[in-house]
Structure 1
Amino acid sequence: MKVLRYYNDRNEPVLAALTEKNRVLNLPQNDFMQLVHEADAEGLSAKQWIEKHMNELEELGNPAESLSLAVPITAPEVWAAGVTYERSRVARNYESTNGRMNTATFYDKVYDAERPELFIKSTAARTVGPNEDLYLRSDSAWQIPEPELGLVIDGRGRILGYTIGNDMSSRDIEGENPLYLPQAKVWKRSCSIGPVILLADAVEDPYKFEIRCEIYRNDVKVVDGSATTGQLKRKLDELVSYLIRDNEIFEGTVLLTGTCIVPPNEFTLEDGDRVEISISGIGLLVNPIRSQNHKN
């Protein structure tokens, strides 16, 4: 069972459920967290609430593929975890040592440490949804997407569902100095999430997700990579436990769990590229890439 938001004829976002049989059922709640709260009040999960009230819900005649999707949740904050996969550690070491791969760095320490790397990636105003433009940073010459599994959590750290995230990254800025990490990660339209939220209790094993990232330039595929969440160094509950430690977490926060797909070192995104990220069971998140001064 999945939850999505789509734009109706009045360009208003509508919350809906997407069943295993691809039926789109309009939900009476205004947003995902309201659905969670009403389910909690009945002692149910969001999935159980939808199943209980399914016969009362209006079915949309349009297939899900024809809908204009909005960001599935207006996350007040998007956080991210770094160096949670071996491939990410190798990439970070490369950019911070100018290719001297035999040089140990603080990334090695983070990868092996008890405490994970966590940072604020985005806010609601900086985050876009499916098919919306992501922006390149104007003062960076080496930028890539980072495809990641996203956890939708409440204020207590309860994992409510899973989504796809694109954690855009400026490799040259981060590699120049680790203290530049906020600038390498946070700028307007530097993060996308979507296309849906796969409800937590619809997932038997979150370490069996298959992740794929494809990048197209002039409609020609130039990057194609894949991974699984089974390659994660850290458990999802572990990442959440550190995020909520002595921290106020807003309901509907999204935690991106790190990337295991990194384009070749000679690759950088360009204006007009298209990034397609898919995760098995969740769907496909597509975003065009634009420069800050792009003109249609």
Structure 2
Amino acid sequence: MRVICYQSGEGPNQLAAVTDEGMVYDLPFIDFISFMRTAEQNKKSCLAIVNEIMQDSLPIPEKMEDLTLKLPVRSYEVWAAGVTYSRSRDARNMEAKVTTNSYYDKVYDAKRPELFLKSTERRTIGPNTPVYIRSDSNWQIPEPELGLVIDSHGAIIGYTIGNDMSSRDIEGENPLYLPQAKVWKHSCSIGPAIRLAETVEDPYSFVITCRIFREGKKVFQDSASTALLKRKYEELVSYLIKDNVTFDGTILLTGTCIVPDDDFTLQDGDMVEIEIPGIGTLTNPVKAPLQENEQVKANLEEV
């Protein structure tokens, strides 16, 4: 069972549940967070709430692929874990030009994971909205990741897809530049759906596939499994909530195991697709923000 948010005509966005058979049922909640809180207040699971609603309603005529999908949950915060896969560790070492006993080697083997604040509600975008590339970076890539949707107590409510955009040259120059290498306008995309955790038999068997298209041609594709993740989800969450305030609907991205070749960088006009069967495909065009700024300036001059 998946939960989505879609644009309903001229009205407000609509929350809905999608069955494995593809039927879409509207849900009577303003957003995913209010849905979570209703389940908690009634001491029921999210899946139980959905099943009760479906028993007394009919599916809408449209299928999920026919809808204009929006950000499935407006999280106050999106956090991310780093160096949770050996591929990520090796990529960080390469960009930092170190070979042995680096900070990345140490954190990969350490008891404490690397966690950092990736995005906030107003910075996070959803499906089909452009991700931006930084104007001061020459080496930028998407980072396809499984995202955990948690409640304020740290319970995993669902799973989603995240694109943790990254500037490899900025992070490689100095690890203290991590916030600038990770956080900028439209650098975090989430969607297209949230798979309820109760409906996932083995969360370590998700297969993540990333495809990048340029001028209509596929220039990159790779896949990896969450089975390669070194740390358990509960371990990552336990460090996030330790002595911290977390909110219902917080997302924790669990790290990437897919890294394009070292000579690859995103360009304006590219298209990024991240697919996880059972959740969906998160698609975002790539845009250079300077071009958008120039267009805004031109429009103002015309006025």
The equivalent residue for 1:177 is: 174
Q: Which runs of 4+ in 1 moved over 6 A?
A: none
CA deviations over 1:107-166 (Å, ceiling 9, x no partner): 000000000000000011111100100000110000000000000011110100000000
SS in 2 for 1:53: helix
Which secondary structure does the structure 2 equivalent of 1:243 belong to? helix
1:88-99 equivalence runs, <5 A: 88-97=88-97
Which of 189, 197, 200 is equivalent to 1:192? 189
The CA distance in 1 between the partners of 2:53 and 2:60, in whole Å, is 16
Could you tell me which residue of structure 2 aligns to residue 78 of structure 1? 78
Distance across 1 between alignment mates of 2:41 and 2:248? 16
Aligned to 2:10: 10
Equivalent residue letter for 2:230 = K
Structure 1 residue 278, shift from structure 2 partner: 0.4
The yes-or-no answer on 1:137 pairing with 2:137 is no
- Cα distance between partner residues in 2 of 1:284 and 1:96: 31
Q: Quote the offset at 1:280 in angstroms.
A: 1.8
Question: Which amino acid counterpart does residue 179 of structure 1 have in structure 2?
Answer: L
Aligned partner of 1:42 in structure 2 is: 42
For residue 60 of structure 1, report the CA deviation from its aligned partner.
Answer: 1.2
For the 8 Å contact 2:27–2:53, the answer to whether it is kept is no
Name the structure 1 match of 2:265.
268
Residue 215 of structure 2: which of 194, 213, 218 is its match?
Answer: 218
**1:195-206, aligned counterparts within 5 Å?**
195-206=192-203
Counterpart Cα distance in 1 of 2:155 and 2:279 = 19
Equivalent residues of 2:72, 2:190 under 8 A apart: yes
* Cα distance in 2 between the residues matched to 1:129 and 1:57: 28
Q: Is the 8 A contact 1:81 1:118 kept in 2?
A: yes
Identical pairs, percent: 58
Aligned partner letter, 1:105: S
Q: Distance in 2 between matches of 1:23 and 1:232?
A: 32
TM-score relative to the length of structure 1: 0.97
Query: In the alignment, is the contact (CA less than 8 A) between 1:271 and 1:294 conserved in 2?
Result: no
d(CA) in 2 for partners of 1:236, 1:222: 32
Q: 2:147 is paired with a residue of what secondary structure?
A: strand
Count of residues in Structure 1 that have an aligned counterpart in Structure 2? 293
The match for 2:87 is 87
Partner of 2:156: 159
Higher mean C-alpha deviation, range 31-40 or range 65-74: 31-40
SS in 1 for 2:92: helix
Asked if structure 2 preserves the Cα contact closer than 8 Å seen for 1:15 and 1:27, the reply is yes
Matched residues in 2 for 1:129 and 1:137: separation? 19
How far 1:58 sits from its partner (Å)? Answer: 4.3
Shift of 1:20: 1.4
Instruction: Give the Cα separation in 2 of the matches to 1:283 and 1:47.
Output: 18
In 2, Cα distance between equivalents of 1:254 and 1:115: 19
Q: Distance in 2 between matches of 1:211 and 1:139?
A: 29
Q: What is the CA-CA distance between 1:193 and the residue it aligns to?
A: 0.3
When the two chains are superposed, the root-mean-square deviation of aligned CA atoms in Å is 1.1
Q: What is the aligned partner in structure 1 of residue 240 from structure 2? A: 243
| Code of the aligned partner of 2:174 | N
8 Å Cα contact 1:27/1:57 also seen in 2 = no
Taking the aligned partners of 1:182 and 1:122, their CA distance within structure 2 comes to: 10
Question: Retained in 1: the 8 A contact 2:36–2:248?
Answer: no
Question: 2-side partners of 1:78 and 1:37: how far apart?
Answer: 19
Alignment-mate amino acid for residue 213 of structure 1: C
In the alignment, structure 2 segments of 5+ residues that lack a partner are: 296-303
For 1:80 and 1:36, the matched residues in 2 are separated by: 21
Aligned position for 1:289: 286
1:32 aligned partner: 32
**8 Å contact kept, 2:77–2:121:** yes
Deviations 1:58-89 (A, max 9, x none): 42111110100010000110000000000000
